[in-house]
């Protein structure tokens, strides 16, 4: 954990997110046409409703029995979603876990961890410059307990689904995003204080181009 970070212990560290919007003036075809990897961001921050919409796109609930925006093999849901916020209006700098059932964020670490994450990701500036970085992780055992080694493939497929949802939602919001897979797993886990059972799979910096 970095010197600037402090482990959150308060039960009051829950932040309810604005309700996600389920319609848009932008067609899915237009979004697909305009999707590009964006690595350079302006100095403008994001707003809390941006975070809400992006989190919902990645792992949001879409119906009863906790149906989600991304398919999951056997409905076992091995993925977890985090947000490392640095410049988001209404969201103090920190690392948050997405509580999908309540569409809320729960503070895990206080303080801006983007610089540390950037260092763990081979100093890729997009992570440092983006006002928020979405982090997808997996607990493989949730899937491999049923499917064995084949479950590892299913987890990786699911991660791609969730990441693409974030990228497409970003385009619909006139934001830029990129997927980052080059990073030191152990360093990311240490920064975020994860258990040995959770593995980082994707970092997704998001901001205004």
- CATH at residue 197: 3.40.109.10
Burial 126-141 (b: 16+ CB within 10 A, else e): bbbbbbbbbbbbbbbe
Q: Is residue 190 part of a domain?
A: yes
What total number of domains does the chain contain? 1
> DSSP assignment, residue 180?
B
Q: Is residue 2 part of a domain?
A: no
User: Is 172 in contact with 50 (CB distance < 8 Å)?
Assistant: no
* Residue corresponding to tokens 């919409």: 53
Domain around 87: 37-207
Q: Is residue 187 part of a domain?
A: yes
The torsion region of residue 132 among left (phi > 0), alpha (psi -120 to 50) and beta comes to: beta
| pLDDT confidence of residue 6 | 52
Q: Is residue 167 part of a domain?
A: yes
User: Is 76 in contact with 146 (CB distance < 8 Å)?
Assistant: yes
Q: What's the distance, Cα to Cα, between the start and end of the chain in Å?
A: 30
| pLDDT confidence of residue 11 | 44
Beta bridge partners of 204: 134
| pLDDT confidence of residue 66 | 77
| pLDDT confidence of residue 2 | 39
Q: Is residue 117 part of a domain?
A: yes
- Nearest residue to 117 via CA among 88, 83, 168: 83
Strand boundaries in the chain, DSSP class E: 6-7, 14-16, 46-47, 61-63, 67-68, 79-85, 88-89, 94-99, 104-110, 132-138, 176-177, 199-207
- Determine the Cα–Cα distance for residues 209 and 206; give it in Å rounded to an integer: 9
Residue 13 structure tokens? 């560290």
| pLDDT confidence of residue 7 | 53
The pTM for the full model equals 0.93
Q: Is residue 17 part of a domain?
A: no
Q: Is residue 69 part of a domain?
A: yes
Give the CA angle between residues 43, 161, 17 to the nearest 5°: 50
- Determine the Cα–Cα distance for residues 70 and 93; give it in Å rounded to an integer: 27
| pLDDT confidence of residue 21 | 94
| pLDDT confidence of residue 202 | 98
Tell me the pLDDT of the chain (209 aa) as tens digits.
434 445 554 445 899 999 999 999 999 999 999 999 999 999 999 999 999 999 999 999 998 877 999 999 999 999 999 999 999 999 999 999 999 999 999 999 999 999 999 999 999 999 999 999 999 999 999 999 999 999 999 999 999 999 999 999 999 999 999 999 999 999 999 999 998 899 999 999 999 99
């Amino acid at each position: 954990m970095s010197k600037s970070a402090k482990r959150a212990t308060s039960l009051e560290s829950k932040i309810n997110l604005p309700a996600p919007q389920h319609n848009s003036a932008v067609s899915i075809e237009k979004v697909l046409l305009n999707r590009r990897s964006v690595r350079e961001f302006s100095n403008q921050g994001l707003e809390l409703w941006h975070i809400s919409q992006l989190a919902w796109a990645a792992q949001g609930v879409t119906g009863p029995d906790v149906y989600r925006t991304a398919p999951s093999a056997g409905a076992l849901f091995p993925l977890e979603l985090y947000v490392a916020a640095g410049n988001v209006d209404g969201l103090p700098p920190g690392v948050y876990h997405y509580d999908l059932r309540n569409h809320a964020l729960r503070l895990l670490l206080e303080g801006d961890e983007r610089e540390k994450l950037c260092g763990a990701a081979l100093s890729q500036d997009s992570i440092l410059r983006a006002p928020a970085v979405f982090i997808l992780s997996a607990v493989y055992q949730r899937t491999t307990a049923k499917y064995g080694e084949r479950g590892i493939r299913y987890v990786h497929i699911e991660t791609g689904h969730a990441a693409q949802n974030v990228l497409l939602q970003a385009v619909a919001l006139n934001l830029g995003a990129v997927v980052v897979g080059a990073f030191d797993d152990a360093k990311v886990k240490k920064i975020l204080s994860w258990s040995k059972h959770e593995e980082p799979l994707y970092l997704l910096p998001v901001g205004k181009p």
